[in-house]
Structure 1
Amino acid sequence: MLATLRPLAAMSAALLLTLAGVAGCAAERAVPPGAVAAKPLFRDPVYDGAADPTLVWNAARKRWWMFYTNRRATAQGLPGVSWVHGTRIGITESADGGAHWTYVGTADVELPPELGGNESTQWAPDVVRAGDGTYHMFLTVVPGVFTDWGHPRVIVHLTSTDLRTWRHPVKIPLANDKVIDPSLARLPDGTWRMWYNNERDGKTIYYADSPDLEHWTDRGLAVAQRGEGPKVFRWHDAWWMIVDVWHGLAVFRSDDALTWKKQAATLLEQPGHGLEDGVMGGHADVVVSGGRAWVFYFVHPGRRGPDAKRDGLEQRRSLIQVSELIEEGGIVRTDRDAPVHIRLDPPA
């Protein structure tokens, strides 16, 4: 009997070793592809006020570009909220699929005198590429530099062939003269839809439709949610919208990009524990690539603790972070403290 059991024991041991090896290989395969993203992901070297990111593939340079609002956080002697005005759109690029970013400069945006010209304020653009290779920017413009929030702001359409020089500005006819934060998506029939924040209607989310990115028809209310910075994207056979509601990002789901259902849980409401990530996240972009999705968001890392509500450099400065989104059972979540393995591939 003992002689019979010995071969069985040896076989069991060999089987256990084989299973352990398989498990080890599976664990290795479980690590997502891509380099680990820097934390923080990006800080603007000029004013240290990077916010409101939006990403687009630069086909000529074969790199991802990020456009962002560059608040003048380090500028001295600016009264009221003038430090959030007078801004130019910053540009940074990634050569490794989104893990690390290098400052490029600012976008050369041409605006007429009635929109502020060289004295304009430029906020929160969205950038898309049309089928002919032309890039289209939809830019929030305030016609000047002001110390308060009570002035008109409009959304302006510009075009470019190189992503750096933007010309042919045209104001989009939307709900009124106080609209911000455009987000665009192409619909299955080839037409375009833009969502934006209507500040005169309680900062709710409106939308407009276009057959060609140039001619627009305003459609009215999309989501009766008070917030700003809507971002709409297609992922996992559904449409998703995230909205900055000032206590994290609200998440909505839709089957047709018209009727939206809000999930109970917000994203990035609870502070993270990573470097410069210990506050709630705000106004974000989402990039879907290779079936995965990443949320690029901004934070004011100094707005924490007993001095959170002070108005100094530490509270004004802002920067960009990134986290991967997870969707399970129709609910989207993210773990902002997990290492972010990111690989943004060129779009198809």
Structure 2
Amino acid sequence: MTQAAQDAMQTGLLFGPGPAGHWDDERVSGPCVLRLPDGRWRMWYFGRDQGFDREINLPTGRVGLAESDDGLHWRRISGPLTRGAVFEAHPDPARFDSTHVGVSCVCHEDGLYWMWYLGGDHSEFRIGRFAVKGLRLRPGCAISRDGMHWQRLHGPYQGALLDFGEPNAFDAASIGWPQVVRARPDLWRLYYHSLDPARMVFGVGLAESDDGLHWRKRGQVLGPGEPEAFDGLGIGTRQVLWHDGRWLMVYEGVAGSGHSIGLAESDDGVHWTRRPGSEADGSIFAHAESGSGAWDAFAVGAPCLVPMEDGSWRLYYVGVNETGLGHGDELAARHRIGLALSQGSDLTRWARWNGARR
């Protein structure tokens, strides 16, 4: 293979697993990127080491931190917990987050970092003939002054902020990947990733709060697209933000052939309309060509948008290769973090970053 061909397979790749013995030496995923007023960039992300519990067939495990001067070249920050992590499972086996955790949203407000995260316990959930440990996810919250040392805020459901829905509800099996936004000073909204166990499709649920700690569910606000669409099996991870007088949602669309990133918009943050993208599958950012050997040839997801001064955007995302497809083993594939750049202010057209990587 020529060097040009090898480079093409790596286009977009920004950040990979850590050095041997580090908490993230097997995989990295779920970037939450903040650009701080002092010019620093910080990225919280989750991952796991090669010895992490293999019965938990998810890319989650622990949470770490990286910093950058430009948002392109990142250095890992060694945290105070296991193998350099900054956040990990709770030692109490009765808690909702006793086996694994993953960060899904970080914001900085009034001198505090707020981390909204997902966690799983020791229970198993059956999918067909498979029993999967740790899949029954619920959301939690932690706060920090420095972004490295975190204190959990205890919720009412074994520490979690929300509990599973009733049997046959759209969120009866899992409530994961929470993201919280302030719609008004007195209204917090928590968007989450749900799994409908009856239809085995994914959707976006919504809960609301007056104080950010006590939540009431509103129900599902966005479900699967048309059966043959890039989001025909539903919607996974997402980011919701306010921009130019409307709410935007960039989301991971799930299909049998792979995952791509879509866009929806809303006037009120509750009722959403899909916005067609420029990719062949109708998404705004598609996984690389199947069979190409590219590092993100099966899935792109966990989108995180950062606006730039010139009106353009950066899209940090997770890419997944095609290793192990068809065997029901998510851990056989490799998760890494990538970057795409918008064409001007257009959120429907993106190009993978192709700069020097570390």
Superposition TM-score, scaled by structure 1 size: 0.72
Letter in 2 for 1:253: E
Return the offset for 1:322. Answer: 0.7
Q: Does the 8 Å contact 2:86/2:149 carry over to 1?
A: yes
Is 1:289 matched with 2:308? yes
1:124/1:160 Cα in 2 relative to 1: closer, same or farther (>3 Å)? closer
Return the offset for 1:124. Answer: 3.7
How many equivalent pairs are there? 293
Is 1:238 matched with 2:246? yes
More helix by share: 1
Match of 2:285 among 268, 281, 287: 268
Identity value in percent: 20
- Partners of 2:134 and 2:66 lie apart in 1 by 31
Is 1:93 matched with 2:89? no
Match of 2:42 among 40, 65, 73: 65
Q: How do 1:191-202 residues align onto structure 2 when only pairs under 5 Å count? A: 191-200=187-196, 202=201
1:327/1:172 Cα in 2 relative to 1: closer, same or farther (>3 Å)? farther
- Partners of 1:149 and 1:320 lie apart in 2 by 25
Q: How do 1:1-348 residues align onto structure 2 when only pairs under 5 Å count? A: 39-45=12-18, 46-57=24-35, 63-72=40-49, 74-75=50-51, 79=54, 81-82=55-56, 84=58, 87-96=61-70, 98-104=71-77, 105-109=84-88, 111=90, 112-115=92-95, 119-130=98-109, 132-144=110-122, 148=132, 151-170=135-154, 171-174=160-163, 176=165, 178-189=174-185, 191-200=187-196, 202-225=201-224, 226-246=234-254, 247-264=259-276, 265-271=282-288, 276-290=295-309, 291-301=311-321, 303=322, 308-309=325-326, 315-326=332-343, 332-336=348-352, 339=354
Letter in 1 for 2:30: D
DSSP-derived class of the 2:132 partner: coil
More strand by share: 2
Return the offset for 1:236. Answer: 3.8
1:278/1:199 Cα in 2 relative to 1: closer, same or farther (>3 Å)? closer
Moved more, 121-130 or 174-183: 174-183
Return the offset for 1:58. Answer: 5.6
Q: Is there any run of 5+ residues in structure 2 with no aligned partner, and where?
A: 1-10, 19-23, 78-83, 125-130, 155-159, 166-171, 225-233, 277-281
1:256/1:143 Cα in 2 relative to 1: closer, same or farther (>3 Å)? same
Q: Does the 8 Å contact 2:177/2:237 carry over to 1?
A: yes
Return the offset for 1:52. Answer: 1.5
- CA deviation profile, 1:17-70 (whole Å, cap 9, x unmatched): xxxxxxxxxxxxxxxxxxxxx9521112132311111123467x8522211120
Q: Does the 8 Å contact 1:47/1:75 carry over to 2?
A: no
DSSP-derived class of the 1:219 partner: strand
- Partners of 2:43 and 2:296 lie apart in 1 by 19
1:84/1:258 Cα in 2 relative to 1: closer, same or farther (>3 Å)? closer
- CA deviation profile, 1:218-265 (whole Å, cap 9, x unmatched): 211211232211211223443211221233012111122222111232
- Partners of 1:244 and 1:237 lie apart in 2 by 23
Q: Which has the larger radius of gyration?
A: 1
The one of the two structures with greater contact order (alpha-carbon pairs below 8 A, sep at least 6) is 1
**Counterpart for residue 127 of structure 2:** none
Letter in 1 for 2:56: S
Q: Does the 8 Å contact 2:304/2:316 carry over to 1?
A: yes
- Partners of 2:304 and 2:58 lie apart in 1 by 20
1:55/1:333 Cα in 2 relative to 1: closer, same or farther (>3 Å)? same
- Partners of 1:210 and 1:115 lie apart in 2 by 22
Q: Does the 8 Å contact 2:88/2:101 carry over to 1?
A: no
